């Protein structure tokens, strides 16, 4: 057995992984006495293993409570931290035990000289949530900057439930240590709208001497969303910050302010013209979120060659209320540059039914000399709502060409029309299905994405998507098929359950069912069956899926409990996550 007297926590995971990989299985209903004996052992690794196992066993390990309580005052700091975590899992509804755990963790944070132990104790406090807030506030007064930082990070992880910490965190914005100021700033952002007192204090930090603090202040103000509109002008000034990260953070914050960023509109337009691509992208999103109030300035910005692309993206995101921009966009269809014509057509497609006046001009560009412009025109026509019979005929002619990408886009647009007759619908569906295995990867991905945008996906389309989940498929095909099936959602569940019977598609189907989440509850028996699969990655994916489905997966609990004894460490961790989530536990990071 390996000794563990002084090993830093950075090696703890490796040691525990190695030790537990060869440990004898511990049944859920096993005699806890062997674990209690290990807790009393003088060998640290045995104690840590036992405490970890008790944490996973949760309420079924109730007889271990007296020993866990003793460990809260043990001289072994790591044992104290692990015992506190185990205690609140074993007795999750016991407020007194929770407070005892809080005090043990807070004491460890302030007394230990080991940074890794301090970090572990802080993580334990964060997991306890609201009951840990008063203790974390007290730790904010530590003489050590590192401890103050960890306490602020703890409150940030607790989030909105840490509202009572706001006044103390505001005082830390004047701390001599820039890292402390930055961490307190982030914490105020994560706590967010619970207390708007933070907004003026954070706004002042946009002028901090540290660029890290300035960027953190902008990010934090963005967390408040539209209620921080009083900071819009200050954020607009921050767009001129000579530090790239600060400028980008200010643009990102204005993006999250939504309509509250209206006062910053001129500065955002200026950034479209002068900023780098990253900052310009944030500015375009911010302008889109401002909405139709930004349209006049965006129309003007389109006349600037550098700003044109970003302005059109913003107008497309604004959608139908960007209708006043349509005449200027139509005039730009005469541009000699096919790239400009293509982007204009995509923008008109984004504006959608607000751009119906441009219909004849869009149809005309189905015959453009540039293939990418033709494809953009076909795409736009599928976004304008019901169109004339002449337009349908024009799209129908596009189905007859040799350009497979144009055929796919035209078929997608036709299938989005309510007025399409059955014969044309059948033809468009057939042409899409015929290209689902096309040798050109771009065409295949376009077909798969088209399925996501069609109101009715047929059984044949779903079968094609399932086939695209095979592990031999290129990554682009796999990810697009996964995203499309998630969008289809509940209607795809029977097909996904069937895919669990195929070795080639099983893993992909499990991942998708997990992404669908609680709506995939009818698939629980089939998912649970996959827990007996010989492949650890399949068992892991099945457990994550069951955890994401949550309380609706109760019938799978016996199989999940069995997986706690799996020889693979990652599978055991996934089982602990699933069991916690199924039993209604708060959301945690998936292992």
Domain boundaries defined on the chain? 1-128
When computed from its CA atoms, the radius of gyration of the chain, rounded to whole angstroms, is 29
Interaxial angle between packed helices 211-223 and 244-257, expressed in degrees from 0 to 180 and rounded to the nearest 10: 10
Q: What is the pLDDT of residue 31?
A: 58
Tens of pLDDT along the chain (591 residues)?
A: 333 334 444 433 433 333 343 344 444 444 578 888 888 888 989 989 889 888 877 787 888 899 999 999 999 999 999 999 999 988 988 999 999 999 999 999 999 999 999 999 999 999 999 999 999 999 999 999 999 999 999 999 999 999 999 999 999 999 999 999 999 999 999 998 766 789 999 999 999 999 999 999 999 999 999 999 999 999 999 999 999 999 999 999 999 999 999 999 999 999 998 888 888 999 999 999 999 999 999 999 999 999 999 999 999 999 999 999 999 999 999 999 999 999 999 999 999 999 999 999 999 999 999 999 999 999 999 999 877 888 899 999 999 989 999 999 999 999 998 888 899 999 999 999 999 999 999 999 999 999 999 988 899 999 999 999 998 999 999 999 999 999 999 999 999 999 999 999 999 999 999 999 999 999 999 999 999 999 999 999 999 999 999 999 999 999 998 998 899 989 988 998 998 899 876 545 566
Q: What is the pLDDT of residue 32?
A: 78
Dist CA 176 CA 561 (whole Å): 50
Dist CA 220 CA 240 (whole Å): 18
Identify which of 272, 277, 264, 209 has the alpha carbon closest to the alpha carbon of residue 237. Answer: 264
Greatest Cα-to-Cα distance within the chain, rounded to the nearest angstrom: 85
- Is the CB of residue 463 less than 8 Å from the CB of residue 495? yes
Dist CA 361 CA 377 (whole Å): 9
Q: What is the pLDDT of residue 590?
A: 61
Dist CA 239 CA 251 (whole Å): 7
Tokens of 195: 């207390």
Dist CA 108 CA 168 (whole Å): 21
Q: What is the pLDDT of residue 9?
A: 40
| Alpha helix positions (H), 401-535 | 404-414, 422-434, 441-453, 459-467, 475-488, 493-499, 506-516, 524-529
Q: Which residue's structure tokens are 């691509």?
A: 277
Tokens of 206: 């946009």
235 alpha carbon, distance to own chain's centre: 25
Dist CA 445 CA 435 (whole Å): 10
Query: Exposure of 334 by Cβ count < 10 A (0-12 exposed, 13-18 middle, 19+ buried)?
Result: exposed
Alpha-carbon distances, residue 578 vs 21, 126, 252, 520 (angstroms): 20, 20, 35, 15
The SS3 assignment for 50 reads helix
Q: Which residue's structure tokens are 């992208």?
A: 281
Q: What is the pLDDT of residue 60?
A: 78
- Is the CB of residue 457 less than 8 Å from the CB of residue 427? no
Query: Exposure of 9 by Cβ count < 10 A (0-12 exposed, 13-18 middle, 19+ buried)?
Result: middle
Tokens of 203: 């706004």
Q: Which residues fall within 8 angstroms of residue 400, CB to CB, at 6 or more apart?
A: none
Dist CA 395 CA 407 (whole Å): 9
Terminal C-alpha separation, the chain: 27
Identify which of 487, 481, 548, 503 has the alpha carbon closest to the alpha carbon of residue 521. Answer: 548
- Is the CB of residue 469 less than 8 Å from the CB of residue 482? yes
Identify which of 226, 161, 210 has the alpha carbon closest to the alpha carbon of residue 187. Answer: 161
Q: What is the pLDDT of residue 157?
A: 96
Helices and strands (H, E) in the chain, number of each type: 35, 0
Q: What is the pLDDT of residue 588?
A: 53
- Is the CB of residue 458 less than 8 Å from the CB of residue 429? yes
Dist CA 372 CA 377 (whole Å): 9
Q: What DSSP designation does 373 have? A: H
The strand ranges marked E within 88-238 are none
Identify which of 174, 173, 178, 176 has the alpha carbon closest to the alpha carbon of residue 188. Answer: 173
Dist CA 413 CA 432 (whole Å): 11
Dist CA 406 CA 395 (whole Å): 10
Q: What is the pLDDT of residue 234?
A: 98
Dist CA 348 CA 355 (whole Å): 6
What is the CATH code of the structural domain delimited by 1-128?
A: 1.25.10.10
- Is the CB of residue 131 less than 8 Å from the CB of residue 157? no
Buried b (16+ CB within 10 A) or exposed e, 185-215: bbbbbbbbeebeebbebbbebbebebbbbbb
Q: What DSSP string describes 505-527?
A: THHHHHHHHHHHGGGGGGGHHHH
Dist CA 473 CA 186 (whole Å): 42
Q: What DSSP designation does 586 have? A: P
The SS3 assignment for 174 reads coil
């Amino acid at each position: 057995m390996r000794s563990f007297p002084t090993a830093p926590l950075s090696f703890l995971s490796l040691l525990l992984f190695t030790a537990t990989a060869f440990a004898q299985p511990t049944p859920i209903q096993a005699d806890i006495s062997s674990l209690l004996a290990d807790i009393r052992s003088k060998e640290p690794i045995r104690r840590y293993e036992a405490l970890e196992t008790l944490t996973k066993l949760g309420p079924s390990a109730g007889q271990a409570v007296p020993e866990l309580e003793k460990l809260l005052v043990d001289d072994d700091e790591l044992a104290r931290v692990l015992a506190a975590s185990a205690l609140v899992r074993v007795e999750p509804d016991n407020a007194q035990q929770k407070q005892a755990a809080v005090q043990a963790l807070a004491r460890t944070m302030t007394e230990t000289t080991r940074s890794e132990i301090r970090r572990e104790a802080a993580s334990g406090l964060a997991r306890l949530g609201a009951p840990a807030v008063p203790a974390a506030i007290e730790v904010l007064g530590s003489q050590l900057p590192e401890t103050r930082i960890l306490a602020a990070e703890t409150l940030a992880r607790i989030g909105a439930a840490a509202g009572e910490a706001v006044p103390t965190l505001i005082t830390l914005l004047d701390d001599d240590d820039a890292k402390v100021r930055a961490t307190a700033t982030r914490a105020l952002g994560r706590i967010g709208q619970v207390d708007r007192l933070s907004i003026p204090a954070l706004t002042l930090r946009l002028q901090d001497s540290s660029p890290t603090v300035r960027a953190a202040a902008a990010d934090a103000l963005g967390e408040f969303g539209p209620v921080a509109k009083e900071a819009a002008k200050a954020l607009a000034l921050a767009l001129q910050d000579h530090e790239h990260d600060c400028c980008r953070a200010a643009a990102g914050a204005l993006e999250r302010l939504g309509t509250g960023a209206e006062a910053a509109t001129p500065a955002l337009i200026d950034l479209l013209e002068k900023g780098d691509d990253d900052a310009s992208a944030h500015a375009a999103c911010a302008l889109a979120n401002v909405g139709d109030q930004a349209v006049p300035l965006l129309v003007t910005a389109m006349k600037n060659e550098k700003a044109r692309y970003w302005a059109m993206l913003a107008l497309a995101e604004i959608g139908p209320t960007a209708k006043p921009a349509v005449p200027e966009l139509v005039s730009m269809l005469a541009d000699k540059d096919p790239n400009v014509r293509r982007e204009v057509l995509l923008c008109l497609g984004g504006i959608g039914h607000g751009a119906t006046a441009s219909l004849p001009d869009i149809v005309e560009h189905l015959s453009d000399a540039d293939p990418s412009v033709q494809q953009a025109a076909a795409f736009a026509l599928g976004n304008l709502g019901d169109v004339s019979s002449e337009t349908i005929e024009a799209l129908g002619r596009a189905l007859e060409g040799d350009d497979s990408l144009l055929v796919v886009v035209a078929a997608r647009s036709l299938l989005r029309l309510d007025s399409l007759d059955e014969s044309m619908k059948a033809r468009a569906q057939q042409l899409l299905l015929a290209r689902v295995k096309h040798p050109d990867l771009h065409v295949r991905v376009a077909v798969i994405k088209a399925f996501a945008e069609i109101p009715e996906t047929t059984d044949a389309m779903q079968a094609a998507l399932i086939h695209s989940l095979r592990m031999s498929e290129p990554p682009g095909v796999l990810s697009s098929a996964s995203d499309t099936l998630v969008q289809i959602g509940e209607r795809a569940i029977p097909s996904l359950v069937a895919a669990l019977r195929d070795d080639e598609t099983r893993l992909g189907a499990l991942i998708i069912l997990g992404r669908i989440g609680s709506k995939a509850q009818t698939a629980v028996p089939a998912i649970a069956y996959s827990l007996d699969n010989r492949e650890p990655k399949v068992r892991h994916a099945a457990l994550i899926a069951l955890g994401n489905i949550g309380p609706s997966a109760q019938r799978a609990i016996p199989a999940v409990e069995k997986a706690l004894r799996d020889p693979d460490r990652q599978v055991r961790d996934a089982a602990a996550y699933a069991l916690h989530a199924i039993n209604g536990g708060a959301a945690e990071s998936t292992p």
